[in-house]
Structure formats: C-alpha cells, structure tokens
Amino acid sequence: MTISVATPALFSSINVGQHTLHHRLVLAPLTRSRADPKTGVPSADAPLYYQQRTTEGGLLIAEATWISPTCGVYPGSPGISSQEHINGWKPVTAAVHEKKGVIFLQLWHPGRATFFPTANVAPSAIAIHTHSPFGGPYETPRVLTVDEIKSITQDFVQAAKNAMDAGFDGVEIHSANGFLLDQLSIHRYGGSIENRGRFPLEVVEAVSAAIGADRTAIRFSPYGAFQDMKDETPVATWSYLVQQLEKTHSNLAYVHFSEPRVRLFDDDDRFAPVEDDEEDDDDDAITLEPFRGLWSGPFVSAGNYTYSAQSAYDRAEKSPNNLVAVGRAFISNPDLVERFRNHWKLTPYNRNTFYSPGPEASLFFFFFDMVYD
C-alpha cells in the first residue's frame, strides 16, 4: 500500500517571471556592508555567501545596491553603476546559477536617508528626525527638481540594464523602508495619492520597458515607521499603487511587501513562535490582505517568518500566490530551505555579524545595526 502525502503549498512550484520556482521560500534582501568601501564592488566572499543560500529553483533577492555613485551610498554597500560593478557581480550570479537558483538584484537610491550632506536629496524638504548612525541629526534634504527625478528614473533604468549584463535574472526596485521612492513628495510628485505614486510607477514603467516586466519587481513597506516614515492612509495609498500595477503591469515578476509586524530589534523572543496575527486586535486593521487581494501575480511577503517555519507554511497554504521571504534567520542558517522543509531547529542569528565587514563580529557594526535595518 502506498500512502501519498500532499506537497505543502510552501514546497510546491510557482511561476515567477520566466522561471518556475520549486518552492516559495525566498532570501530577503539583506545589506551586509561587505563590498569594497571605496568602489562598491562586491567582496570576494559574495559568491560563496549567495551560493550557500541557493537551492535549485529557489529565489534570492540580493542586497540593496546603489544605482549611481552620487546617490549618497552607505559604506560597504555594493553598486551597479559601472563596468567594474558588473564584473564584480558576475561571479555571484554564476555561483547562484551553478546551483540552478534564480537571483534578482535590489536597486536602491537612499534619498534623504543618506549620511552624506551633499547627496541628501528628497522629493520634499523634510528631514529624518532620528539620529544617523554616524552621530548627528540628519540634515534637511534639498528638494529634487522634476528634471532630477526624471534623471534618477534613468539611473534606475541603466542600473537595471547593468544588472542584466551582470547575469541577474531580474531586479527588485526598492520602494520601501523610507528610501527615496518611499518618501513623500511635493509638486507633481506630491500631495494626492496619485501624485505620490507617480515616481515609483514611472520607475516601474521605465525599468520594465528596458528589461521586460517579467524581469522587474518592486518592494513596498506601507506600515513601516523606519526612517521616520508614516502614511496616514496606508491602505488607500498602496492599494492605489497595486491597482495601477495590476492594470498596467500585471506581468511583473512579483510585488513584495513587508509585513506590518516586523520586530527587527526585539531579540528577547527570537525564535519564539510568532503569535497568530489574527488573534491580535491591534493587527486587525493592519494586514497585507488589502494588497494581496488586488494583485493577481506572485506576491512576496517578508517579516517575522524568520521565527518559525510554521508561519511560512501557514502563509503559503492561506494565500495561493504567496512566496515568503526570510531575512535574519537566513543569515545564520544558509541551509534554511532544508531546515524549514524538514522542520529542523534553526541556529539563532548573531546581530553582531549583520553588518560586519567580514565573517567576524564587530562592535562598531553592532551600533550601526541598531540604527539601520
């Protein structure tokens, strides 16, 4: 007698862009600050780091990567604006493809969330009110002109083309966590929801025209408070964005949302089971459901699946088009996919290594980490 056991949704296949993935666990984009601080070329360890986290038919999203050298880059963050960067990323994409994985690159402009006053620009003259990792308060940004916004859109396009030359399977436009595309704006890019949505939508339009919609994706964090973000009407604002994407770019590779309850600094209960969101009154009003309901393609959600495989299994069962991105637990468990598949115990992460310049822990980067996630 044979007993057939149904494949859990988390380990069933799903089409993302031109790829058929074998499971729905995704490496979340994770800044590790290990690129050459002067040039932004990925470190010699990067191919190994990404290959260790690759599975056949698994999706990886490589870390936030700056699109131009003038965009106020963070020390140790990689770039994708020059031939040197393209050459530096090639061994990474080759290492992932050798194991038949799929890798997207996250394209990033920090905007006002930069530590360098000369690069501090934003759609509005509103500073971040928290302190920067290097001590002082953030400066008030210089307001971008419409021409500059157009030119940054072209930087995204060029970066996307460079990412293709470097062998990436697609790009994820970083429109989350208080960075440029997530920032509120004035003139024809500000005020109404339609105007505020214009910049990210124009970037999606331009990037997908250049490299194909099925190689283009975007990340949002509607409920994020990081870097002084707060939207009074998150459901209306991001519903509009998703509706527009569904109308004009329903063949994007995926849309990616951060879950509202990301406990990035809460280590006391790390790897404790996540409470069921639906049992928590506070969360009834803040969920990703409104956005899930508006998008017919692949939907990636990230945040707190790091604590228990069960929460990832449940999400995939509940939401048929959903993939689950894992961040912190993937740092300390390169074989996370096998651990989740087999319900093996996870190795707790070590915060001191998150942003250290090499595999070893660093106290300086522990401080950096307290400020930037």
Ligand X SMILES: Cc1cc2nc3c(=O)[nH]c(=O)nc-3n(C[C@H](O)[C@H](O)[C@H](O)COP(=O)(O)O)c2cc1C
Residues that bind ligand X (CB under 6 A): 28-31, 63-64, 106, 174, 176-177, 219, 258, 262, 264, 302-306, 326-329, 354, 373
Q: By C-beta, is 30 or 149 nearer to ligand X?
A: 30
Q: In angstroms, what is the minimal distance from the CB of 348 to ligand X?
A: 12
The helix/strand/coil state of 336 is helix
Q: CB–CB of 255/173 below 8 Å?
A: no
The helix/strand/coil state of 170 is strand
Q: In angstroms, what is the minimal distance from the CB of 63 to ligand X?
A: 5
Q: Which residue is nearest to ligand X (CB)?
A: 327
Report in angstroms the alpha-carbon separations of 197 from 166, 175, 202: 30, 10, 9
Integer Cα distance of 345 and 351 in angstroms: 19
- Which phi and psi (to 5°) does residue 227 adopt? 60, 40
Q: By C-beta, is 165 or 373 nearer to ligand X?
A: 373
Integer Cα distance of 299 and 301 in angstroms: 7
Q: In angstroms, what is the minimal distance from the CB of 23 to ligand X?
A: 16
The amino acid sitting at 15 is N
Q: What tokens were used for 122?
A: 């934003």
Q: By C-beta, is 253 or 302 nearer to ligand X?
A: 302
The residue written with tokens 């509202």 in the block is 260
Q: By C-beta, is 195 or 373 nearer to ligand X?
A: 373
Q: In angstroms, what is the minimal distance from the CB of 325 to ligand X?
A: 7
Q: By C-beta, is 45 or 98 nearer to ligand X?
A: 45
Q: In angstroms, what is the minimal distance from the CB of 130 to ligand X?
A: 17
**CA dihedral over 229, 29, 104, 155, signed as positive or negative:** positive
Q: By C-beta, is 29 or 141 nearer to ligand X?
A: 29
Terminal-to-terminal C-alpha distance of the chain: 52
Q: In angstroms, what is the minimal distance from the CB of 351 to ligand X?
A: 8
Report in angstroms the alpha-carbon separations of 50 from 141, 191, 331: 35, 41, 10
Q: By C-beta, is 103 or 302 nearer to ligand X?
A: 302
Q: In angstroms, what is the minimal distance from the CB of 298 to ligand X?
A: 17
